[in-house]
Amino acid sequence: MLTAIVGINWGDEGKGRMVDLFSQEYDVVCRYQGGNNAGHTVVNDKGKFILNLLPSGILNENTVNVMGVGMVIDLQHLSEETGRLRAGGIRISPDNLKISDKATICMPYHKLLDVLEEDRLADKKFGSTRRGIAPVYADKYYKKTLRMGDLLHPETLREKLEGIVEWKNLTVANGYGHAPVDVDETLAWLLKYGGEFKDYICDVSEFLYQAEAEGKKIMFEAQLGALRDIDYGIFPYTSSSSSIAAYAPIGAGVPGLKLTNTVGIIKAYSSCVGEGPFTCELFGEDGDKLREAGGEYGAATGRPRRVGGFDVLASGYGVRVQGATSLALTKLDVLSYLDKIPVCVGYRLNGERLDRFPLGENLKHAEPIYESFDGWHCDISGCRTFEDLPKEARDYVRFIEERVGCPIQYVSVGAEREAYIKMF
């Protein structure tokens, strides 16, 4: 069985928290795209953990975790992240972590280029997390990158690196006028941090096809939401990889297999990190209160997130591009403080009401149409059945379900593992 757990919105929907919950039932959890540019926060009986690169199943004793072919991996970050988790009592070894030999290595000069370019753009910047993700994906498609499997052949590493660095310095030194990338220094970095993971690097496809054939339950964990997908998101304010479910088997390492189901994680209100159109955005006191209530600060960067009411159009679009078969609605408890719950029920463009999410230029000019729903004004974090929820909260859940056209299977009412309602 192959399940994708993906974000319906702009990311930070609580995917990590839901994957942590579901992963107890899965034999294998895979990451299939991205690098350490985003973060999942998971709170469970062992403590609070922030995961940037590792699949969330790593927190679960019996789950095997795969870092797939579509990922870009900053070795130093991986070393630090595994170190932090081990210090927190998490076991990480080659039998519960498998890293694809085809995954791309995100190098220190990719980070450098990200910073140089964002600085060059100054006030026109895209809001990159400056972790080298766009530069490394660009180089991947340029076919001028090292892959994890190259670490298993140290005898040819210098030669490969020299060729790439020579080309890279055309941009770093000749273009940006920065000090050139040094081969020795970069090679030392590769050997130091890459050396730690040699025993983890393998052909994950082999492992995954085998696991599927044995009837194992495999989960694919997305790192960013639908609206950040390179092709289907709010380009160019997207990530540089495919975050949608359809890409999951490809990015994990099993392109020949089809997903059995796709669970979309959808948040009870909206949040967005960085630049770009965010039609439903709330400003001033309304925004500040919601940001505070939801703790909307980036897990990877600490940046305050932009916030808004639930966005019917953007979410409906997200459900469709993800091909979600069911939904998990998160952070419903965050709205408990509100008398009236603001919901962005549609957009207006040039005086006309839109009933589909627009992209490109139209999105830039769209204005939100807000309506408000009655709040419930009590603590719902202890609710464990749908009937436990106050009527106003039940109405809100049913409204979202109806408008986005997909059944809500879970409602999350707190960050803790057990704080959720299973609807069916």
- Chain residues in the site for ligand GDP (CB under 6 A): 7, 11-17, 38-41, 43, 295, 299, 330-331, 333-334, 412-415
Whether omega for the bond prior to residue 236 falls within 30 degrees of 0, making it cis, is: yes
Nearer to ligand GDP, 38 or 107 (CB): 38
Which residues neighbour 18 within 8 Å (Cβ) at sequence distance 6 or greater? 5, 263, 265, 328, 330, 410, 412
Residue by residue, DSSP assigns 111-144 as HHHHHHHHHHHGGG-----SSSHHHHHHHHHHT-
Whether residue 319 contacts residue 405, with contact meaning beta carbons closer than 8 Å, is answered with: yes
- Minimum separation from the CB atom of position 51 to ligand GDP (A): 8
- Minimum separation from the CB atom of position 273 to Mg ion (A): 8
* 12, 20, 212, 333: residue in contact with Mg ion (rule CB under 5 A): 12
- Minimum separation from the CB atom of position 41 to ligand GDP (A): 4
Nearer to ligand GDP, 7 or 70 (CB): 7
Residue by residue, DSSP assigns 216-271 as --EEEEEEEEGGG-TTTSSTTSS-SS--SGGGHHHHHT-TT---SEEEEEEESSEE
Nearer to ligand GDP, 140 or 305 (CB): 305
Whether residue 337 contacts residue 289, with contact meaning beta carbons closer than 8 Å, is answered with: yes
- Minimum separation from the CB atom of position 312 to ligand GDP (A): 20
Nearer to Mg ion, 39 or 194 (CB): 39
Nearer to Mg ion, 42 or 338 (CB): 42
Distance of CA 370 to the CA centre of its chain: 28
Which residues neighbour 195 within 8 Å (Cβ) at sequence distance 6 or greater? 151
By rule CB under 5 A, what string of x and - marks binding of each residue 298-317 to Mg ion? Answer: -x------------------
* Region near Mg ion per CB under 5 A, out of 10-18, 250-258, 264-272, 397-405: 10-18
- Partner interacting with residue 412 (select from Mg ion, ligand GDP, none; CB below 5-8 Å by kind): ligand GDP
Whether residue 318 contacts residue 280, with contact meaning beta carbons closer than 8 Å, is answered with: no
Q: Among all chains, which residue has been given the structure tokens 């990480």? A: 92
Q: How many CB atoms lie within 10 A of CB 385?
A: 10
| 212 contributes a contact to Mg ion by CB under 5 A | no
Binders of Mg ion among 30-49, rule CB under 5 A? 38-39
- Partner interacting with residue 34 (select from Mg ion, ligand GDP, none; CB below 5-8 Å by kind): none
- Minimum separation from the CB atom of position 291 to ligand GDP (A): 12
